[in-house]
């Protein structure tokens, strides 16, 4: 199975997961043009995309979902609560392209099994996803206010994980966000800080996990080197070495990341 973060961050998210036969986009939270450029970059024709999976209805995850579905006749998958919350924002979607799943109930897209799991975030019914093909597993968990037991249980036996490393707590506290927004981000249903991301990795790390990609970085309250250094120092103080025990990478906000095959 292949994984590539086209874009990941507070300004828009779209993640590719697939193989030669099945191609999936998780979220479509930038312009249709940007996402098409990202796909072109990794050699995937938008016509080949079999599904757009939505994590939750915030704008940075759904902006172009309707546009891409109409342009390339792609089915959109979300749970019923997320559908009700986003329906008015994404425009008309063909009846046959409206796919509703139940969180926790695995389903198939081509030869990939998708497992949606609940995440703690302030949306109607947000979810993360695990993808399984043969004995390989890839998981995506961003927009999580804290690393709940459910999140950890769902991602811990993955070969590759995209995990949120949203903000530096000090930068957020002294930064320009209004008070209510600071409280929202810091809350249990907001976003995961760099420190909490590092601690979560220490908690779940086992011999199966090879790669962790830090994602959904805030544009205002973080920067890639800081996220990387903060997480790395927590890992190192627990005896975990980057490049030896694990490969740590960063997903970019504004450009296509590394293309991984697991």
Residues found near Zn ion in the complex (CB under 5 A):
58, 60, 143
Helices and strands, number each (H, E), in the chain:
9, 14
Q: Is 244 exposed, middle or buried (0-12, 13-18, 19+ CB in 10 A)?
A: exposed
The nearer residue to Zn ion, 122 or 242, going by C-beta atoms, is 122
- Residue environment code for 146-181, b if the CB has 16+ CB neighbours within 10 A, otherwise e: bbbebbeebbbebbbbbbbbbbbbebbeebebeeee
Least distance CB 59 / Zn ion (angstroms): 8
Least distance CB 51 / Zn ion (angstroms): 19
- List strands edge to edge, sheet with 259-261: 98-101, 76-79, 51-53, 23-26, 14-18, 2-7, 259-261
Least distance CB 20 / Zn ion (angstroms): 30
The nearer residue to Zn ion, 27 or 168, going by C-beta atoms, is 27
Torsion of CA 111, 256, 120, 58, to 10 degrees: -100
50 in Cβ contact with 87 (< 8 Å): no
Least distance CB 61 / Zn ion (angstroms): 6
Give the residue nearest to Zn ion (CB): 58
The nearer residue to Zn ion, 15 or 248, going by C-beta atoms, is 15
The nearer residue to Zn ion, 133 or 143, going by C-beta atoms, is 143
The nearer residue to Zn ion, 22 or 56, going by C-beta atoms, is 56
Least distance CB 164 / Zn ion (angstroms): 9
């Amino acid at each position: 199975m292949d994984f590539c973060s086209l874009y990941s961050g507070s300004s828009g998210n779209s993640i590719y997961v697939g193989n030669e036969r099945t191609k999936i986009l998780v979220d479509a939270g930038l312009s249709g043009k940007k996402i098409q450029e990202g796909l072109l970059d990794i050699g995937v024709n938008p016509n080949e995309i079999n599904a757009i999976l939505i994590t939750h209805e915030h704008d940075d995850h759904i902006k172009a979902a309707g546009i891409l579905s109409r342009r390339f006749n792609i089915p959109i998958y979300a749970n019923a609560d997320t559908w009700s919350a986003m329906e008015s924002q994404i425009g008309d979607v063909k009846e046959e392209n409206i796919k509703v799943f139940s969180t926790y109930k695995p389903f198939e897209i081509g030869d990939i099994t998708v497992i949606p799991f609940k995440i703690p975030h302030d949306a109607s019914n947000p979810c993360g996803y695990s993808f399984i093909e043969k004995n390989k597993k890839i998981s995506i968990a961003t927009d999580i206010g804290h690393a709940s037991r459910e999140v950890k249980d769902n991602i811990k036996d993955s070969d590759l994980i995209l995990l949120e490393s949203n903000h530096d707590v000090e930068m957020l506290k002294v930064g320009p966000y209004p008070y209510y927004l600071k409280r929202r981000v810091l809350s249990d249903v907001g976003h995961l800080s760099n420190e909490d991301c590092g601690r979560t990795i220490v908690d779940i790390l086992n011999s199966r996990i090879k790669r962790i990609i830090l994602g959904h970085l805030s544009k205002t309250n973080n920067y890639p080197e800081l996220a990387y250094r903060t997480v790395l120092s927590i890992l190192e103080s627990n005896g975990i070495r980057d490049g030896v025990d694990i490969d740590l990478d960063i997903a970019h906000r504004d450009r296509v990341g590394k293309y991984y095959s697991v």
